Chain A
Amino acid sequence: MNVFAIIGRVVLSTLAEIGALSRFTWNAVSHVVRPPFFWRLIAQQMLRIGYFSLPVVALTAFFTGGALALQIYYGGNTLNSESIVATIVALGITRELGPVLGGLMVAGRVSAAIAAELGTMRVTEQIDALTTLSTNPYKYLVVPRVVAAVLTLPALVFIADIIGIMGGFVVGTQSLDFNPGVYIKNTADFLKYDDVMSGLIKAGVFGFIIAVMGCFHGFNSKGGAQGVGRATTNAVVTASILILAANYVMTSLLFAN
């Protein structure tokens, strides 16, 4: 087969995908601000996306904070490790690891669930049925999920920050014999409002990515059970990659000065 034909086909299908995604995102965003609003559904989705993700995110944060403390202790200068461990754990968790790992865990849980649910609704014509019942599927299905994810992800990450720092604290005081009072003082002294805030802004963006990717792939799934499976996989993979890419871009913007 002609190599150029293959390259051309790949480029064209990628461009078509990007175009479709942009249009979908624009539709979703434009419906966020236009009534009617489905408050009941937003609340329901906040519960599903936020509350039920708590255990996963909390465990992730705790173990990450603990492992981070150990790594810094083993790798660093043991003389002033007591202050360094506390500081780096606090900064590392709030700026990067809290939002990124929290985002990735929620992407695995929530993007997949959204894509599977909407994908099944698509192949069983439930999304078409919404249209015939004079309900806009974007408003009814997409907007509540996007709004809920954007609102709850920062809250989740804020909790993850606290638990992650606690993980470092527990490991530091229990197995590294740090003084608890000094650890807390060091954390409080070095941690600034901006550190936490930058992480929460990132979390909001990740929430948007997670919901939009789940909805986009679910909405466009076709071909029965196999298609829904493919949509689910694609949702998780694209959400995860976009989260990591967006994280890099935001880090370079937020911490440029």
Chain B
Amino acid sequence: MSEAKIELRNVCKRFGKKVVLDGINLTVPKGESLVVIGGSGTGKSVMIKCVLGIIRPDSGEILVDGKNVLKMDTGEREKTLRKFGMLFQGAALFDSLPVWENVAFGLIQGRKVPRKKAKDIAIEKLAKVGLGAEVGELYPAELSGGMQKRVGLARAIATEPEIIFFDEPTTGLDPIMADVINDLIVSSVKELGATTLSITHDMASVRKIADRVAMIYKGKIIWSGTRAEVDASGNEYVDQFIHGRAEGPIQMEVLKP
């Protein structure tokens, strides 16, 4: 295994009495794609937000390129954040800005690229995700869900980040569009040579974009291995999840009628 790009050591987070992350240990090697699978409400999103510094964990260490981001001052932290790009579950496009400005946002605000040049780059990135220049002039509300996701992907790769996070990249899309997004993720990540951390519960997506897979359950990583090992993990939690069975060790908190 090559050197670690991101490393989480014993990260804990609770909201009130509810323990969301219960000692997460996770390593993402440089240049690899790690996909974290797990059901709803198992702490996947909180984990990613901890790495981004949007949520502060109660204890533990988060290392990016070997440096603990939780001990950094604001300036250093902002510098580290420039290495990141993220595709949000609902795309999270700024609806007050046209599409091209959404894609160019990180360039204009974060890197001080002149607007005109940033627009050219934005149009080029939109082309990479299969959208024409005319889409750039539209507003996010005028786009379909699949197009919004593609714009979100273009925005995430526009600054050519070293690390990209994907939060449920295929949720809410039809199977064909989901596959298109998966292909785009694979191709754009390969081109950038980026390290990626994704969270999803879509197994088709896992099989397409993952180098390694980890499963989170009740705030802990309970299994990890390569993509090929998922189907023969010998772990009954993983088996239940990838085959989508209601019966098994994972009990949903649903009252039986």
Query: CB of A133 within 8 A of chain B?
Result: yes
B53, B78, B82, B92: which contacts A129 (Cβ < 8 A)? B92
Contacting B at CB under 8 A, from A120-158, are 121, 124-126, 128-129, 131-136, 140
For B89, the chain A residues whose CB sits under 8 A away are: 125
The A-contacting residues of B in range 54-90, CB under 8 angstroms, are 54, 78, 81-82, 84-86, 88-90
On chain A, the residues within 8 Å of B110 by CB distance are 133-135
Closest to B109 in A: A135
Cβ contact within 8 Å between A128 and B81: no
The distance in angstroms between the C-alpha atoms of A124 and B155, with both chains bound, is 16
**Assembly CA distance A134 to B158 (angstroms):** 13
B-side residues, CB < 8 A to A, are 49, 52-54, 78, 81-82, 84-86, 88-90, 92-95, 105-106, 109-111, 155, 159, 165
Interfacial chain B residues near A133, Cβ < 8 Å: 105-106, 109-110, 155, 159
Q: Which residue of A lies closest to B81 (CB)?
A: A134
Cβ of B86: which chain A residues have Cβ within 8 Å of it?
A: 129, 132
Asked if residues A128 and B92 are in contact (CB atoms below 8 Å), the reply is yes
User: Which A residues contact B (CB, under 8 angstroms)?
Assistant: 121, 124-126, 128-129, 131-136, 140
B53 touches A131 (CB 8 A): yes
A-B contact number at CB 8 A: 50
B82 and A134: CB pair below 8 A? yes
Minimal Cβ-Cβ distance residue in B for A44: B96
26 contacts between A and B (CB under 8 A): A124-B92, A125-B89, A126-B94, A128-B52, A128-B92, A129-B86, A129-B88, A129-B92, A129-B93, A129-B94, A131-B52, A131-B54, A131-B81, A132-B81, A132-B84, A132-B86, A133-B105, A133-B106, A133-B110, A133-B155, A134-B106, A134-B110, A134-B111, A135-B105, A135-B109, A135-B110
> Which chain B positions have C-beta within 8 A of A131?
52-54, 81
**Residue among A128, A129, A135, A136 facing the most chain B CB atoms (10 A cut-off):** A129
A125 to B54, CA, bound (A): 11
Contacts of B54 in A (CB 8 A): 128, 131
Report the minimum CB–CB distance from B257 to chain A (whole Å).
27
CA distance A131 to B54 in the complex (A): 8
Does the CB pair A125–B109 fall under 8 Å? Answer: no
Docked complex Cα distance between A121 and B102 (Å): 14
A125-B92 contact given A132-B85, A134-B78, A135-B109, CB 8 Å threshold: yes
A134 to B86, CA, bound (A): 11
Beyond A125-B88, A132-B165, A133-B109: 20 further Cβ-contacts under 8 Å? A125-B90, A125-B92, A126-B94, A128-B52, A129-B88, A131-B52, A131-B53, A131-B54, A131-B81, A132-B52, A132-B81, A132-B84, A132-B85, A133-B106, A133-B159, A134-B82, A134-B109, A134-B111, A135-B109, A136-B78
